[in-house]
Chains A and B, each alone.
Chain A
Amino acid sequence: MSRAFQSLAIPASAGIGLRSPHIAEMLTRRPSAGWLEVHAENYMGDGAGVEALERLREIYPLSVHSVGLSLGSARGVDSAHLERLRKVCERFQPDLVSEHLAWSVADGAYLNDLLPLRYDEEALAIVARNVETVQDTLKRQVLIENLSAYVAFADSSMTEAEFLAELVARTGCGLLLDVNNVQVSAHNLQYDAKAFIDALPAAAIGEIHLAGHATNHVGADTVLIDDHGSRVPPVVWALYQHAIDRFGPRPTLIEWDTDVPVLDVLLGEAMWADMLTASIMFNRKQAARRKQTAEPRPTPICLSVEGQTTTSMPVLAAFAAARAPRPSISAALHSIEEEYHVAA
């Protein structure tokens, strides 16, 4: 029988992917990590990791990210695996559940990789049916993640972004925007990464993923490999900035799966994502205020709002405020906090 956990909502701020080398440190140090995401398939057994995650679930909001449902499989979703995912959700009571727009099972084999779909009406009908099956079984909305791809199908009749938008309309699913995947696919298949993001329905974006990728040179071909094995590169941060500009703050995950570094590196990347988001939102509010006020009133810089001490001012936002001649930080800070709560 599953235990009852306190409901912990995932905030519109950064979290980290929980990886086994960090579990002991997470349990002992309990660092400020925002929230955690785990791969569902790693917690379908009864090993020590499962016991540890139960303890961490008491402290951190949790997202369950599945990699094995194969939502794009023409044969449908494996009911046994879906039942295992349902049990994981029942056991850990996550706030978010997500999967990929991909297939990994065919001909009786699980390929342990995420393969792209041919984006057409036939695939859309199949994926929509599979997503509905998952949502009906889990009795909740799931977020569907865009894919990193190295090939596409010549006979596709729509783009991946159009496919995702239509999937949202048909099934009511949400979207997990993997910004690194956008960069990898856009480079490899030669399309405009920002246009991809702009084509997604903003209200459906429930989570963002950030990660690093590798650059391989094979002959004349330079291909980006989605290996989750390094820091988030500047080009992905720039794309993330574009996404936040468009969608506002969203729960954002730092993923790192190969050559996993010490925990503090992941926490540092998460902190950077938070600072970048806060800085974007702060600047946006300042710009809006400048537009509204022809002659803004100078207000002294003050980090306390109505007598309450506020210590959550992100460093980048504070730097931006210190550099800006006006207007009031206290008013702008209030707006940032409002944004966070709305998005959460």
Chain B
Amino acid sequence: MLPLEHLQTTMARSVLAIEPLVSAKMLTAGKADPLARLRIYQNNTRSSLTAALMAVFPVTVQLIDERFFRYVASEFIRRYPPVEPRLPRYGAGFPRFLKTIDTLSDMPIVAETARLEWAIAEALDTASLPPRSLAEYDNTDLGLSPDILLQPSLRLVVSHWSILSVWMAHQQETAVDESITWTRRPERVALWRSGNYVRLFLLDRASFAFWHSLKHGFGLEHATGRALALDPAFDLVSALVRLFRDRLVTNVRVAANSPSN
């Protein structure tokens, strides 16, 4: 008789693979064939995890057709099963896995769109903090280069492909314009959670660099410098007003290395 740990390892491999590794002699199922019953667990695992992936990557499903998505998802699940029970965290590696599928090698936009969808899923599972307003800092000396903290759900995605256009085109039931689908055009997307929804915007290069620097805690001075390097006409005041208007600012504080500190 196998020790329990060995038995469970064998069962788990049988459930994830198609081939049963468990001996039929170990199992009973009334008058039924135990190995046929084992397939119920295989189906349950594969179909529930496929459903979880389809919920996270609905546009990707549309891009490659549901039947092909199910096939790819099934391979992904077999090779990279979840390592923990929080299913909202399952699928981080799926966009990269799509890039390894030969059939999709001439359709890089599929994996890129999946990357955008994963960022959306992450944002939806992240806290939304109370936003701060500009007026709150009217009488506060924040030094020359304060740190601006943004919503933790903010995700910034840059792609060589028109991922937001593709994503937007698949939000409605109407037929998708193929010229939008296959445009090779860089897009920089900012997205964050707002209540039950995610807001998505296209950013220009300078704004993207500005937001990216702030998100990673480099402070206002560094962020402004990077934006101006990319676009000398970058308007800092407008950029700040926009951050507050979009309820993205969760705190403004004196930078740790500020001269006024």
Min C-beta distance of B83 to chain A, whole Å? 6
Do A154 and B25 form a contact, CB below 8 Å, given A111-B45, A115-B41? yes
Judging by beta carbons under 8 Å apart, are A118 and B83 in contact?
no
How extensive is the interface on chain B, given as a class?
35 or more
Min C-beta distance of B125 to chain A, whole Å? 4
Do A223 and B83 form a contact, CB below 8 Å, given A47-B124, A113-B15, A151-B27? no
Out of B29, B82, B84, B86, name the residue touching A150 (CB < 8 Å).
Answer: B29
Judging by beta carbons under 8 Å apart, are A44 and B86 in contact?
yes
Min C-beta distance of A326 to chain B, whole Å? 48
Name which of A72-80, A172-180, A283-291 contacts chain B: A72-80
CB contacts (< 8 Å) of A45 on chain B: these are 86, 88-89, 125-126
- Check if B11 is an interface residue, CB within 8 A of chain A: yes
Judging by beta carbons under 8 Å apart, are B81 and A110 in contact?
yes
Judging by beta carbons under 8 Å apart, are A155 and B86 in contact?
no
CA–CA, A297 to B245, complex, Å? 76
Judging by beta carbons under 8 Å apart, are A150 and B40 in contact?
yes
CB contacts (< 8 Å) of A189 on chain B: these are 28-30
Judging by beta carbons under 8 Å apart, are B34 and A151 in contact?
yes
CA–CA, A318 to B44, complex, Å? 43
Judging by beta carbons under 8 Å apart, are A190 and B31 in contact?
yes
Min C-beta distance of B35 to chain A, whole Å? 9
Out of A47, A74, A155, A188, name the residue touching B193 (CB < 8 Å).
Answer: A47
Scan B91-134; emit 1 where CB is below 8 A from any A CB, else 0.
00000000000000000000000000000000011111000000
- Check if B49 is an interface residue, CB within 8 A of chain A: yes
Scan A33-48; emit 1 where CB is below 8 A from any B CB, else 0.
0000000011011111
- Check if B18 is an interface residue, CB within 8 A of chain A: no
Name which of B1-9, B205-213, B225-233 contacts chain A: B1-9
CA–CA, A290 to B3, complex, Å? 57
Scan A285-325; emit 1 where CB is below 8 A from any B CB, else 0.
00000000000000000000000000000000000000000
CA–CA, A154 to B1, complex, Å? 10
Residue of A nearest to B44 (CB): A113
Judging by beta carbons under 8 Å apart, are B4 and A110 in contact?
no
Min C-beta distance of B31 to chain A, whole Å? 7
CB contacts (< 8 Å) of B16 on chain A: these are 109, 111
Judging by beta carbons under 8 Å apart, are A122 and B87 in contact?
no
- Check if B191 is an interface residue, CB within 8 A of chain A: no
Out of B5, B28, B48, name the residue touching A153 (CB < 8 Å).
Answer: B28
- Check if B195 is an interface residue, CB within 8 A of chain A: yes
- Check if B237 is an interface residue, CB within 8 A of chain A: no
Out of A67, A103, A155, A188, name the residue touching B29 (CB < 8 Å).
Answer: A188
CB contacts (< 8 Å) of B3 on chain A: these are 74, 122
- Check if A221 is an interface residue, CB within 8 A of chain B: yes
Q: Which of A100-149 contact B (CB under 8 A)?
A: 103-113, 115, 117-118, 122-123, 126
Min C-beta distance of B29 to chain A, whole Å? 5
Min C-beta distance of B150 to chain A, whole Å? 15
Do A113 and B48 form a contact, CB below 8 Å, given A47-B126, A154-B27? yes
Residue of A nearest to B85 (CB): A68
CB contacts (< 8 Å) of A155 on chain B: these are 1, 26
CA–CA, A47 to B26, complex, Å? 43
Judging by beta carbons under 8 Å apart, are A109 and B28 in contact?
no
Judging by beta carbons under 8 Å apart, are A154 and B26 in contact?
yes
Q: Which of B19-66 contact A (CB under 8 A)?
A: 25-34, 36-38, 40-41, 44-45, 48-49, 52
Min C-beta distance of A23 to chain B, whole Å? 9
- Check if B179 is an interface residue, CB within 8 A of chain A: no
- Check if A81 is an interface residue, CB within 8 A of chain B: yes
Judging by beta carbons under 8 Å apart, are B88 and A48 in contact?
no
Out of A47, A68, A154, A223, name the residue touching B125 (CB < 8 Å).
Answer: A47
Min C-beta distance of A109 to chain B, whole Å? 4
Out of A46, A67, A69, A109, name the residue touching B82 (CB < 8 Å).
Answer: A109
CA–CA, A80 to B40, complex, Å? 29
CA–CA, A43 to B34, complex, Å? 36
Out of A78, A80, A118, name the residue touching B7 (CB < 8 Å).
Answer: A118
Do A84 and B8 form a contact, CB below 8 Å, given A110-B81, A153-B26, A221-B32? no
Judging by beta carbons under 8 Å apart, are B84 and A81 in contact?
yes
Do A48 and B196 form a contact, CB below 8 Å, given A74-B3, A74-B8, A151-B37? yes
Q: List 30 A-B contacts (CB under 8 A).
A: A41-B86, A45-B86, A45-B126, A46-B127, A48-B193, A48-B196, A69-B85, A74-B4, A84-B86, A106-B9, A108-B83, A110-B84, A111-B16, A111-B41, A111-B45, A111-B81, A112-B48, A112-B49, A112-B52, A112-B85, A112-B87, A115-B15, A115-B41, A150-B41, A151-B28, A154-B25, A188-B30, A189-B30, A221-B32, A221-B37
Task: Tell me the A residues contacting B by CB distance below 8 Å.
Answer: 41-42, 44-48, 51, 67-70, 72-75, 78, 80-81, 84, 103-113, 115, 117-118, 122-123, 126, 150-155, 188-190, 218-219, 221, 223, 225
**7 tightest Cβ-Cβ pairs between the two chains A and B:** A68-B85, A74-B5, A46-B127, A190-B30, A45-B125, A106-B12, A109-B81
* New A-B pairs, 17, CB < 8 Å, besides A41-B85, A41-B86, A151-B27: A41-B87, A45-B86, A46-B125, A103-B8, A106-B8, A110-B84, A111-B12, A111-B41, A112-B49, A112-B85, A113-B41, A113-B45, A150-B29, A151-B29, A154-B25, A188-B29, A219-B36
